[in-house]
Amino acid sequence: MTAITGKYDILVVGSGHAAVEAALAGARLGHSVAIVTLNPENVAGMPCNPAVGGPGKAQIVSEIDALGGEMALATDHATIELRVLNASKGPAVQSLRAQVDKKAYAAHMKRALGDAGVTLLGGMVVDIPVSSGAVRGVVLGNGDYIAASRVILCTGVYLESRIIIGDVVKESGPLGEPAAKGLSDALRRLGIALGRFKTGTSPRIAADSVRWEELKKESGAPYPLAFSFLSKPRVYNNDVCYSTYTNERTHEIIRANLHRSPLFDGTIRGTGPRYCPSIEDKVYRFPERERHQIFLEMEARDSDEVYILGLSTSLPVDVQVEVVRSLPGLKEARIVKPGYAIEYDRILSQQLKPSLEVVGIEGLYSAGQINGTSGYEEAAAQGLMAGINAALSLEGKPPVILERSQAYIGVLIDDLVSNVIDEPYRMLTSRCEYRLMLRQQNADQRLTPLGREIGLVSDARWRVFEEKRAKLEKGRELLGKKTGGVEVRERLKAPDTRLEDFLGEIPELALLPEDVRAEIEIEAKYSGFIERQEREAKRLQRYAGKRIPPGFDPSEVPGLSREARDKLRRYAPATIGRALEVGVSPQDALILLAYMKNRGSGGAQGDE
């Protein structure tokens, strides 16, 4: 081992969204932190579409914000269009989605790292020294040894990565950056099992080659919005997003060239994301579909590059040109950067503790796409929690483990460490059993007190939280007033009744901020459902220790999902709590509890 060339409390490997949140958390909690990355100029980059949020993801961003993370603030700083998805549906699935200036976003994050005192180092990590079961730092390709008590791996899609476009295969990271070489072998030497995943991106085209008048303009929300609970909501009126559709000609071109697709000729071996397939995969798998929607989004305010969302592809460049020019408004489009597939190594995430520390190696953490997830938001959430837990462990404090009933982040991490992840994991509202409790709008009320206890919530953020909490309490009190002899909160349960109907009779309600009125209306209107979810969550916590009989046959339980039966057979968990840990859903656990109660089996009351 060469001489130590640097020493830090926490060393973060990588500079993407997971790395930034991990480094900021560690530094803000008072520890010396360095990021070591292939290119220190590339911080919080967006190699895929320039957007933050969407169903499931927006909830995560708001939770990061409530805990004291940076993603929501960076998004508000860089937003060029903001809208509400699923606006016509229930509050559990409504989500913000921002189109952002990716240059402004990255610049904000780089300033935040500087303000927090994080050191940025250039280099390729090729080894991770471990002795007596604990991590000691990292070794770079040039031989430098950087000592650290805690190391957080946030390598994204760079581990032994290769870019694939048609029959052209090149060892490379996104957009031509170097692949990370050597670290995969080092991880295997430590006994860490790896897998291989694939993701991809769409072509970028020149803005001045688009006939914008032939496309449909997609306008943002006409009312003020913001991601962060600290930001002042505003309206974004920008001419930046348009949509169109593929057509039969597009599909003919793709079908005629499937034999040239690396997806179908065996070139690509990694598993790709089911929820974000390439355009050739969509055309092949859904031949009955006459068209697929496509969005065109500007990548930055001062950029001439347009990202084509929905057209992810690894077809040869000449085919990509044909496909793009078959779309309305793009007959003369010039491809600036072709779409590509990227394959990369990833850690099998069942080897992680819920704290995101690697089992068996003290002080080594892993966060982001290296854990098998996809998306900037999922990566940032893991980075935040890994940074928090690395910092707390240095102080001899227990890790912060969010429950599934507490946060989307809890669902995300629980799924990763409990389940076999056989495709890039994407957060969806459907993955969250308690989604009506865990709304984007109430993330601050759920998690800001915890962020304050950890030490990441500033005095300024805490004041904003307390002011809002007081207004919420006032609003709930006002809902107890009667109109027509019935409390307003009871009248709001009627589907066609709105809070605004009572502003004339109870003028104090009109004095409350709009976001507070919206929150107390949701609480009242869905109180029965929310209370039921809360009861279910508490019941599972209460019965976590209830024993499952040895030799139990899950096929005997009516209503149990096939997935739950498979996991109960495979892992034979001894208790309800252990069943939840191996990935049995709360709904299935409740079905199992009811079955055991009816059969009079499964441990004494003292076990509960």
pLDDT at 433: 84
Of the candidates 331, 404, 416, 320, which has an alpha carbon nearest to the alpha carbon of residue 366?
Answer: 416
Q: Which residues pair with 120 in a beta bridge?
A: 35
pLDDT at 602 over 60: no
* 322-354 pLDDT, tens digit each: 999 999 999 999 999 999 999 999 999 999 999
Q: Give the SS3 label for residue 222.
A: coil
pLDDT at 137 over 60: yes
pLDDT at 577: 83
Given a contact cutoff of 8 angstroms between Cβ atoms, the answer to whether 536 and 590 are in contact is: yes
- Confidence label for 37 from pLDDT (cuts 50, 70 and 90): very high
pLDDT at 464 over 80: yes
Show me where the domains of the chain are located: 204-343, 466-530, 543-607
pLDDT at 176: 78
pLDDT at 419: 82
Evaluate the CA torsion angle 6, 8, 14, 16 in order and state its sign: negative
pLDDT at 390 over 90: yes
The rounded percent of the chain whose pLDDT value lies above 90 is 77
Architecture, CATH, for domain 204-343? Beta Barrel (2.40)
pLDDT at 199 over 70: yes
Residues 6+ apart with CB under 8 A from 76: 98, 226, 227, 228, 231
Mean pLDDT, rounded, for 202-226: 95
pLDDT at 598 over 90: no
Name the more confident of 467 and 594.
467
pLDDT at 417 over 50: yes
Mean pLDDT, rounded, for 415-439: 90
In Å, what is the CA distance from 47 to each residue of 342, 392, 508?
11, 32, 48
pLDDT at 562 over 60: yes
- Token readout for 355 is 């704290």
Q: Which residues of 94-116 are buried (b: 16+ CB within 10 A; e: fewer)?
A: bbbbbbbbbbbbbbbbbebbeeb
Given a contact cutoff of 8 angstroms between Cβ atoms, the answer to whether 365 and 152 are in contact is: yes
Q: Going along 176-255, which residue ranges are E strands? A: 194-201, 204-206, 216-217, 241-245
Of the candidates 390, 378, 408, 391, which has an alpha carbon nearest to the alpha carbon of residue 353?
Answer: 390
pLDDT at 608: 34
Whole-number mean pLDDT of the chain?
Answer: 93
- Confidence label for 5 from pLDDT (cuts 50, 70 and 90): confident
Given a contact cutoff of 8 angstroms between Cβ atoms, the answer to whether 31 and 12 are in contact is: no
HEC readout, 34-68: EEEECCCCCCCCCCCCCEEECCCHHHHHHHHHHCC
CATH superfamily entry for domain 543-607:
GidA associated domain, C-terminal subdomain (1.10.150.570)
CB-based burial label for 219 (10 Å; 0-12, 13-18, 19+): middle
Q: Which residues pair with 420 in a beta bridge?
A: none
pLDDT at 443 over 50: yes
Among 123-132, 224-233, 247-256, 528-537, whose mean pLDDT is lowest? 528-537
Rounded Cα gap, residues 395 and 284, in angstroms: 54
- Token readout for 163 is 């870019």
* 39-64 pLDDT, tens digit each: 999 999 999 999 999 999 999 999 99
Rounded Cα gap, residues 390 and 317, in angstroms: 44
pLDDT at 600 over 70: no
CA 599 to chain CA centroid, Å, is 41
* 272-315 pLDDT, tens digit each: 877 778 999 999 999 999 999 999 999 999 989 999 999 999 99
Mean pLDDT, rounded, for 359-368: 98
Given a contact cutoff of 8 angstroms between Cβ atoms, the answer to whether 151 and 133 are in contact is: no
CB-based burial label for 416 (10 Å; 0-12, 13-18, 19+): buried
Query: What is the largest distance, in Å, between two alpha-carbon atoms of the chain?
Result: 81
CB-based burial label for 61 (10 Å; 0-12, 13-18, 19+): buried
pLDDT at 107 over 90: yes
Rounded Cα gap, residues 433 and 449, in angstroms: 23
DSSP 179: P
pLDDT at 2: 60
* 351-360 pLDDT, tens digit each: 999 999 999 9
Query: The whole model's pTM is what?
Result: 0.91
**DSSP letter string, 551-569:** T--GGGSTT--HHHHHHHH
Rounded Cα gap, residues 93 and 64, in angstroms: 18
H-type helices in 79-199, by residue range?
102-116, 183-189
Mean pLDDT, rounded, for 258-264: 93
pLDDT at 601 over 80: no
pLDDT at 431 over 90: no
Residue with tokens 């579909």: 289
pLDDT at 266: 87
pLDDT at 45: 95
pLDDT at 547 over 80: yes
The region, left, alpha or beta by phi > 0 then psi within -120 to 50, assigned to residue 54 is left
Residues 6+ apart with CB under 8 A from 563: 583, 585, 588
Q: Please report which helix (H) or strand (E) contains residue 134, including its range.
A: strand 134-135
pLDDT at 586 over 90: no
Mean pLDDT, rounded, for 539-544: 84
Mean pLDDT, rounded, for 505-515: 94
pLDDT at 409: 98
Name the more confident of 539 and 239.
539
pLDDT at 94 over 80: yes
